[in-house]
Structure 1
Amino acid sequence: MAAPEKGAYINGHHESVLRAHSWRTVENSAAYLLKVLRPDMHILDVGCGPGTITVDFAARVPQGQVIGLETTTATQEEFKSNVAMRGVSNVKLVVGNVLQLDFPDNTFDIVHAHQVIQYIADPARALREMRRVTKPGGFVAVREGDFASLTWYPEEGLRGLQDWIDAHYRVARANGGEPNAGRRLIAWACEAGFDRTAITATASAWCYSTPEERAWWAGLWVDRLRYSSFAKSFISLGYGTQDDLDRMAQAMQKWSASEDGWYAAMSGEILCRK
C-alpha cells in the first residue's frame, strides 16, 4: 500500500468523516464570528466539506454571497443536499486550493477556515493568501484544534485513547501538518502579515458527555479507525496494524459505555482584521 500523498487531508471523505463534519454549524463551530456578521457580507469558507457551516453562513447573510471552497468534488452531493435542506440560494461550491486562491485581491468581507490549516505544511502561506483576498476592514477567521488539550474521563483502562492521539500526531506530522495548531494561530497570523493589534484570539471547546453524545462521537471514530484515509495512512506509513486500530476503537467503545464518561476538545480561534 502506497504512503498517503503529502498535503492531502489525512481523514479523507469517508461517510464517518462527513458524519462528523455535518454536525458543525456557525453556532457550535464559529460562534466567535457572530459579532461581526452583517446581512450583506460576502464570505469565502475554505475547506467547507459538506457545507453545513457554509450554508449556515448563507442563511445569516441573506443579502450577501457565500462561496464554499474544497480541493475536491468528493463532498459536492452532500453540499448540494445541505443547500436544498436550508433553502438558501446565495451560496455555491467551487474547487480550489487555499495556497493559490483563484480570486482577485480584496474580494471578501470574511475569509473563514475551520479545522483546515492544521493539515497544511505552510499555514502562514495559507493565511497570507486568505488575507490577500480579504477586503480592507474585513476579517480572516480561523478555528483550529489543539490535540494536546484533548481530555477524557474515565482514564483507567483506556490506553487505546492515548494511542489514538499518538497515532494522529504521527500521521498528521508525517503529512506536514501540526495537530497543536490552536496555540500557534497568532504566530502564524503575524508571519502572514497581520499586525498583532489586529488579531483577536479566543478559544472554545466541544464537549460530549450525554449517552447520545458519547455514542455519536465514539461511533464515528470507531468507523474512521477502520475505514477512513486516516486508518489507511496509519498502516501504510508503518505505524501499526489494523489490530492496533481495532484496539483503539474498542477503547472508544468502552469509554462510550461509561455512565460518567466525559470528553472535551479545545480549539484556538483568531479573528484578524485586515
Structure 2
Amino acid sequence: MTSHYYVHGYSERESVRLSDQANTLEELLHSDTKYPAGSMVLEAGCGIGAQTVILSRNSPQARITSIDISEESLDKAKERAAGQGVKNAEFRVENIFDLPFEDESFDHVFVCFVLEHLKEPVKALASLRRVLRTGGTITVIEGDHGSCFFHPETEAAVKTWNSLVEVQAKLGGNSLIGRQTYPLLKRAGFTNATVSPRMVYSDASRPHMEEGFVRRTIIPMVEGVRESAIEMGIIDAATFDHGIADLYRTAGEEGTFNYMFFKGVGRK
C-alpha cells in the first residue's frame, strides 16, 4: 500500500460490492477463524470494514486494530462498525510497509484481499511478521482470477475477464496471487504454513451464490475496470460490454460459475 490507488476504485458501488462479497463468503472464508478472549489482533488493509464486522462477531472478546492507508475507506469502516454494534475494534490510518507498532505487539494478524494489490507482497508480510508475537499466527486470504471458469464461455466474456487481470498487472498488482499464498508465507519467514483452497461454485440450484457472488460481487468487480481497460488499449468498449452481458448469462438458468480462494495460515 505505497499509494492510495485501488484498482477497483472507492465508489459507493464498490463499497456495496465489498459488503456483498463479505456477506456471501462469510461461512466459506471465516468459519474457521476465531480468536481467544483477550487476543490482540491486527487486521491489515481493512478497507471499508466488511471483514472487520465478521471478525468482531466471531471473536467478540478479542481486541482488533484495523488499519488501512485510505482515510476515506476508514471513515466508511467506522460508520459500518458503529451501525453493526462493533465494540472491540479500533481503526487507524497506517501504512502496512511502515507500521508504527512495537515488535511483537499482536497475537494474530489477519490479511484479506490485500496482497493482490501490492507490488511487494513479501515485504508487506515481513513487516507484519515483525509486529507479530513469537508463536502468533497470520491468516492470509486471497483470490486467484486464473482459477475462474464458467459456462457459457464466450470469446468476449473471456477477453473481458482477462482484461481485469491485465489492468491489475499493469498497475503493479497480481490478481493470480492466490496460488502463491504458501510460498509467499514461507519467503516472509513464517513457519508451519498451511493453505486450504476454498472453492465457490454457482448454478441455478444455488440462487444465493448466483445473486450474492456472481451478480453482485464478481461481475461488478470486472465492470469496475472498464474505463482503465479501454484507456490502456487492452480491450475495446464493444467487446468489453459484450463480455459483461455474457458474464451475466453465467448466472442465468443454465449458467455456471466457478472460482477459487486460498486461505493460508502461518506462525512466527
**TM-score, scaled to structure 1:** 0.85
Deviation at 1:120, TM superposition (A): 0.9
**TM-score, scaled to structure 2:** 0.87
Deviates more, 1:18-27 or 1:185-194: 18-27
Kindly indicate whether residue 166 of structure 2 is the aligned counterpart of residue 170 of structure 1. Answer: yes
Any unmatched runs of 5+ in structure 2?
A: none
Distance 2:168 2:107 in 1: 31
Kindly indicate whether residue 5 of structure 2 is the aligned counterpart of residue 11 of structure 1. Answer: no
Deviation at 1:15, TM superposition (A): 2.6
Q: Cα distance 1:138–1:169, how it changes in 2: closer, same or farther (>3 A)?
A: same
Deviates more, 1:66-75 or 1:123-132: 66-75
Kindly indicate whether residue 268 of structure 2 is the aligned counterpart of residue 251 of structure 1. Answer: no
Distance 1:39 1:75 in 2: 27
Equivalent pair of 2:49/2:77 in contact (CA under 8 Å)? yes
Q: Cα distance 1:191–1:225, how it changes in 2: closer, same or farther (>3 A)?
A: closer
Secondary structure of the residue that 2:52 maps to in structure 1?
helix
Match of 2:199 in 1: 205
Distance 1:110 1:80 in 2: 21
Distance 2:63 2:194 in 1: 25
Distance 1:189 1:251 in 2: 37
Kindly indicate whether residue 26 of structure 2 is the aligned counterpart of residue 29 of structure 1. Answer: no
Secondary structure of the residue that 2:163 maps to in structure 1?
helix
Distance 1:91 1:238 in 2: 43
Q: Runs (4+) of structure 1 moved beyond 6 Å? A: none
Distance 1:93 1:136 in 2: 24
Letter in 1 for 2:259: A
Kindly indicate whether residue 41 of structure 2 is the aligned counterpart of residue 43 of structure 1. Answer: yes
Distance 1:96 1:267 in 2: 26
Deviates more, 1:246-255 or 1:236-245: 236-245
Tell me how large the CA RMSD over aligned residues is. 2.3
Q: Cα distance 1:243–1:49, how it changes in 2: closer, same or farther (>3 A)?
A: same
Among 187, 207, 219, the residue aligned to 1:191: 187
Equivalent pair of 1:16/1:221 in contact (CA under 8 Å)? no
Partner deviation per Cα, 1:208-239 (whole Å, 9 max, x = no partner): 3334532443255555555x3x2232123222
Distance 1:80 1:88 in 2: 9
Any unmatched runs of 5+ in structure 1?
A: none
Secondary structure of the residue that 1:22 maps to in structure 2?
helix
Deviation at 1:192, TM superposition (A): 1.0
Distance 1:30 1:100 in 2: 27
Deviation at 1:61, TM superposition (A): 2.9
Distance 1:221 1:270 in 2: 22
Match of 2:117 in 1: 119
Letter in 1 for 2:81: V
Match of 1:236 in 2: 231
Kindly indicate whether residue 137 of structure 2 is the aligned counterpart of residue 139 of structure 1. Answer: yes
Secondary structure of the residue that 1:80 maps to in structure 2?
helix
Distance 1:179 1:225 in 2: 12
Letter in 2 for 1:201: V
Distance 2:39 2:59 in 1: 6
Match of 1:152 in 2: 150
Letter in 2 for 1:208: S
Deviation at 1:64, TM superposition (A): 2.5
Kindly indicate whether residue 51 of structure 2 is the aligned counterpart of residue 53 of structure 1. Answer: yes
Match of 2:67 in 1: 69
Secondary structure of the residue that 2:186 maps to in structure 1?
helix
Distance 1:136 1:44 in 2: 15
Deviates more, 1:177-186 or 1:230-239: 230-239
- Identity of paired residues, percent? 24
Aligned residues: 261
Secondary structure of the residue that 2:8 maps to in structure 1?
coil
Equivalent pair of 1:199/1:271 in contact (CA under 8 Å)? yes
